[in-house]
């Protein structure tokens, strides 16, 4: 029986790295995509030794304009079919909007939004043609809340959630599963210096996030919030007014930025 193949973006660290081990252990061949060649090469070697699977490394910064096209061309050149796509790569900043450089703001939108859409647009047609496949898009608990001082990041993750849920409905009858995963604070490099505001749901491990998402995918869910406390936070817009949420989040963010020395 031919092994299935999973393509994972942002595979060199954090949740993406965890997905790599998770699916390799399940017998998937793995395509690793990230901008860090050294980390990907080390990861590929370890996966091959541990699980005896084929591992392909594609070095690419997905915040670049034609990155998804480049990745797809590399995959097709090697005659690799992608049964599962994990859009994990992401980037965020904290602080006053005007304190972020145009470069960083552009990078957030390109990586968190454009890359997700473009990678999906490249790989979904093949899944549609064969009537099977799965896409996991990493959103966030920030998808549910407007967050002052993380305005761009929260907005991009709201997009990912909406985009994923819409596609889930469009393709659920065609044998394709599409899931938005909404983690809270997770033990990754991304959250090493995160303000306490975005750790309200408690710190979760990458393993917990991956296992939770895999179960949700197999149950046909359109989205999943990792962790019970994070789930309660995601419900806050149903309980509080938008004005109240903005006031609360603004106060918490400003308080915690002052503690960490941010403006």
Give pLDDT tens digits for 229-248.
Answer: 877 887 788 888 888 888 88
- Rounded-to-integer distance, Cα 146 and Cα 252, Å: 13
Q: Which residues of 226-235 are buried (b: 16+ CB within 10 A; e: fewer)?
A: bbeebeebbe
User: C-alpha dihedral over 73, 77, 79, 82, to 10 degrees?
Assistant: -20
Is 176 within 8 Å of 135 (Cβ atoms)? Answer: yes
The least confident of 19-28, 71-80, 152-161, 180-189 is 180-189
- At residue 202 the predicted structure's pLDDT band, cuts being 50, 70 and 90, is low
Beta bridge partners of 212: none
| CA angle at 103 for the pair 100 and 104, rounded to the nearest 5° | 50
Question: Residue 221 in 3-state DSSP?
Answer: coil
Note the pLDDT of residue 195: 44
Percent above pLDDT 90 for the chain:
73
Q: What is the 8-class DSSP label of residue 197?
A: G
Residue 3 CA neighbour count, 13 Å, CB half: 17
Question: Residue 37 in 3-state DSSP?
Answer: helix
Task: Please provide the average confidence, as pLDDT, over all residues in the chain.
Answer: 90
Question: Model confidence over 207-216: pLDDT tens digits?
Answer: 999 999 999 9
List CB contacts of 249: < 8 A, sequence separation 6 or more.
Answer: 145, 146, 147, 148, 197
List CB contacts of 229: < 8 A, sequence separation 6 or more.
Answer: 184, 200, 201, 202
Note the pLDDT of residue 254: 82
pTM for this predicted structure: 0.90
Note the pLDDT of residue 190: 52
Domains of the chain by range and CATH? 5-260 (3.40.50.720)
Note the pLDDT of residue 248: 82
Catalytic residues: 153
Note the pLDDT of residue 29: 98
Note the pLDDT of residue 117: 99
Question: Model confidence over 57-67: pLDDT tens digits?
Answer: 999 999 999 99
CB atoms within 10 A of CB 2: 7
């Amino acid at each position: 029986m031919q092994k299935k193949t999973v393509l994972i973006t942002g595979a060199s660290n954090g949740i993406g790295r965890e997905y790599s081990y998770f699916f390799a252990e399940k017998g998937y061949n793995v395509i690793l995509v990230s901008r860090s060649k050294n980390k990907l090469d080390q990861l590929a070697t370890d996966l091959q030794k541990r699980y005896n699977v084929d591992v392909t490394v594609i070095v690419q910064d997905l915040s670049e304009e034609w990155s998804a096209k480049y990745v797809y061309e590399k995959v097709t050149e090697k005659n690799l079919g992608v049964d599962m796509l994990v859009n994990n790569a992401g980037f965020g900043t904290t602080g006053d909007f005007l304190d972020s450089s145009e470069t960083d703001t552009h990078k957030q939108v390109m990586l968190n939004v454009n890359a997700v859409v473009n990678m999906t647009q490249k790989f979904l047609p093949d899944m549609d043609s064969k009537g099977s496949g799965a896409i996991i898009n990493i959103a966030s608990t920030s998808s549910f809340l407007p967050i002052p001082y993380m305005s761009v990041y929260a907005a991009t993750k709201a997009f990912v959630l909406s985009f994923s849920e819409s596609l889930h409905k469009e393709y659920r009858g065609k044998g394709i599963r599409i899931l938005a995963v909404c983690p809270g604070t997770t033990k990754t490099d991304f959250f090493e210096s995160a303000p306490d505001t975005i750790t309200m749901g408690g710190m979760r491990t990458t393993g917990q996030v991956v296992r939770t998402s895999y179960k949700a995918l197999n149950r046909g869910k359109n989205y999943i919030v990792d962790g019970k406390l994070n789930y309660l936070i995601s419900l806050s817009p149903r309980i509080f007014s938008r004005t109240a949420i903005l006031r609360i989040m603004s106060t918490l963010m400003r308080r915690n930025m002052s503690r960490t020395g941010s403006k």
